[in-house]
Chain A
Amino acid sequence: GESVGLHLPTLSVQEGDNSIINCAYSNSASDYFIWYKQESGKGPQFIIDIRSNMDKRQGQRVTVLLNKTVKHLSLQIAATQPGDSAVYFCAENIFDKLIFGTGTRLQVFP
């Protein structure tokens, strides 16, 4: 498969635990944020998004929190499963362009 993220920060969690992946964004003018999941050798897959007028948004087993004061975004995954193992990227939208973070590798062990 594609060797994406060889030197990424890694979060290791046990199956069934909750995972929290953090992201610091750079521009206070960013108005929209997205979390993507990327499995080895594949294109990024949309997980959840949030607009700058919100603090929290929930999806199925995932929650995104936005703290504009400190320019921080987090992704919470409940009851982490082996299929959640991947690299997770946050992205901020500014002037109709997405700027991506470097990613965090999530490893789920039994």
Chain B
Amino acid sequence: DGGITQSPKYLFRKEGQNVTLSCEQNLNHDAMYWYRQDPGQGLRLIYYSQIVNDFQKGDIAEGYSVSREKKESFPLTVTSAQKNPTAFYLCASSSIQGGPYEQYFGPGTRLTVT
């Protein structure tokens, strides 16, 4: 089955620790995205990548970092510099050639930092 996967579904960390969220897609999409979702708000873009080894900051990149070493993978690290890291994190991917096209979303990772 083609799709986009995120792991784990729930993640708990202590304040001051970095944590990495996984995102993998087998849709052969060039572009991948990370969003953050808080209650009562829409999705806010953290980082995105349109090609391997390149990525751009979104609207709320502070305290986060990403890498894009493979087309299929776009892990997100939530660093200790992120002041309010508890949130629902969503990864998405899309084709971009000849687009724009819809973004396909993974199931999300709920991160709780205490």
Are A43 and B106 interface neighbours, CB within 8 A? yes
Interface residues in A34-54 (C-beta closer than 8 Å to B): 34, 36, 41-46, 49
B41 cross-chain contacts in A, Cβ below 8 A: 102
**Residue B29, interface by CB 8 Å:** no
A7/B40 in contact, CB under 8 A = yes
Q: Is B42 within 8 A of A102, CB to CB?
A: yes
Interchain CB contact under 8 A, B39 and A4: yes
| Residue from the set B31, B41, B96 with the largest chain A CB neighbour count within 10 Å | B41
Q: Does A46 lie within 8 Å of B102, measured CB to CB?
A: yes
Q: Is B16 an interface residue (CB 8 A)?
A: no
Question: With an 8 A cutoff between CB atoms, is A8 at the interface?
Answer: yes
Contacts of B55 in A (CB 8 A): none
Give the number of residues in B that approach A within 8 Å (Cβ atoms): 28
Q: Mark contacts of A85-103 with chain B using CB atoms, 8 A cut-off: 1 yes-contact digit, 0 otherwise.
A: 0000100010011101111
Select the residue from A8, A41, A89, A97 with max chain B CB neighbours within 10 A.
A97
B58 at the interface (CB under 8 A from A): yes
Indicate if the CB atoms of A31 and B100 lie closer than 8 Å.
Answer: yes
Contact A97 B108 (CB under 8 A): no
Q: Report if A3 contacts B (CB, 8 A).
A: yes
Cβ A89 vs Cβ B110 within 8 A: no
Interchain residue pairs A-B with the least CB separation, the first 5: A43-B105, A100-B42, A7-B40, A6-B39, A100-B43
Instruction: Give B residues with C-beta under 8 Å from A.
Output: 6, 31, 33, 37, 39-45, 48, 50, 58, 88, 90, 92, 96, 99-100, 102-108, 110
